[in-house]
Chains A and B, each alone.
Chain A
Amino acid sequence: DTAVSQTPKYLVTQMGNDKSIKCEQNLGHDTMYWYKQDSKKFLKIMFSYNNKELIINETVPNRFSPKSPDKAHLNLHINSLELGDSAVYFCASSRDSNQPQHFGDGTRLSIL
């Protein structure tokens, strides 16, 4: 009965590859987010969706493309992976953008 689940938990791949991270929430929330946490633990929002519509799109390279097939899912696809993409990526959800967020346990992406 995990509230926000991300797969995979670990992702090790080579530079130049394309990969996807999946996120699902079973809380019935309308808003979902993707964050990047770097090695110094800085946390930065990348994208936010409300009812499957993109509402926040930070200055993220267009190699990153979120997709929300329905309200409960927000997946992140990354093309042409670079060394600097190595980080922990967190998915989160909330009832609306003013409410507390529930976070998944992260996907640790390592680029070789």
Chain B
Amino acid sequence: AQSVAQPEDQVNVAEGNPLTVKCTYSVSGNPYLFWYVQYPNRGLQFLLKYITGDNLVKGSYGFEAEFNKSQTSFHLKKPSALVSDSALYFCAVRGSSSASKIIFGSGTRLSIRP
């Protein structure tokens, strides 16, 4: 069975510091991995994805994520956090079979203090 875990409900970081939001997954076959961000009263917005290729994926707003197959992880990172990065972040995974459906993690609230 597929699953995705975001072990931290909340991550607090000072502006200018690096940030990491963790995600681990379990899926049959090769994973399709995604990160989305949700601002208050808005729908989710796509940040980045991994399907194949380089393990380090760069996305919108300076975010990047590293696919680690041995650790089944896909952590979201940014070298220098901005206050405007404060939002709810979702990791999502889908297996490569046609019958697979997308599953979202429980979300991590990122709070950047000035």
User: A-side interface residues toward B, CB under 8 Å?
Assistant: 4, 40-45, 48, 56, 58, 90, 92, 97-98, 100-106
Residue of B nearest to A102 (CB): B46
A40 CB contacts on chain B under 8 angstroms: 106
B106 CB contacts on chain A under 8 angstroms: 40-42
Whole-angstrom distance between the alpha carbons of A31 and B34 in the complex? 17
Whole-angstrom distance between the alpha carbons of A98 and B49 in the complex? 10
Knowing A45-B101, A56-B101, A98-B51, say if A103 contacts B45 (CB, 8 Å): yes
B98 CB contacts on chain A under 8 angstroms: 97
Knowing A41-B88, A98-B51, say if A92 contacts B43 (CB, 8 Å): yes
A92 CB contacts on chain B under 8 angstroms: 43-44
A4 CB contacts on chain B under 8 angstroms: 43
5 A-B contacts (beta carbon < 8 Å):
A48-B101, A90-B44, A97-B94, A102-B46, A103-B43
A56 CB contacts on chain B under 8 angstroms: 101
B32 CB contacts on chain A under 8 angstroms: 98
Whole-angstrom distance between the alpha carbons of A40 and B45 in the complex? 19
Q: Is B88 within 8 A of A104, CB to CB? A: no
Instruction: Report which of A43, A98, A106 forms a contact with B90, defined as CB distance below 8 A.
Output: A43
Instruction: Report which of A45, A48, A90, A100 forms a contact with B43, defined as CB distance below 8 A.
Output: A90
CB distance from A112 to the nearest CB of B (A): 21
Interface centre among A43, A98, A104 (most CB of B within 10 A): A43
Q: Is B101 within 8 A of A104, CB to CB? A: no
Residue of A nearest to B98 (CB): A97
Q: Is A100 within 8 A of B34, CB to CB? A: yes
Whole-angstrom distance between the alpha carbons of A80 and B95 in the complex? 35
CB distance from A73 to the nearest CB of B (A): 17
Interface residues of B in 6-25 (CB under 8 A from A): none
Q: Is A105 within 8 A of B102, CB to CB? A: no
Whole-angstrom distance between the alpha carbons of A43 and B102 in the complex? 11
Q: Is A101 within 8 A of B46, CB to CB? A: yes
Residue of B nearest to A35 (CB): B104
B102 CB contacts on chain A under 8 angstroms: 45, 97, 101
B90 CB contacts on chain A under 8 angstroms: 43
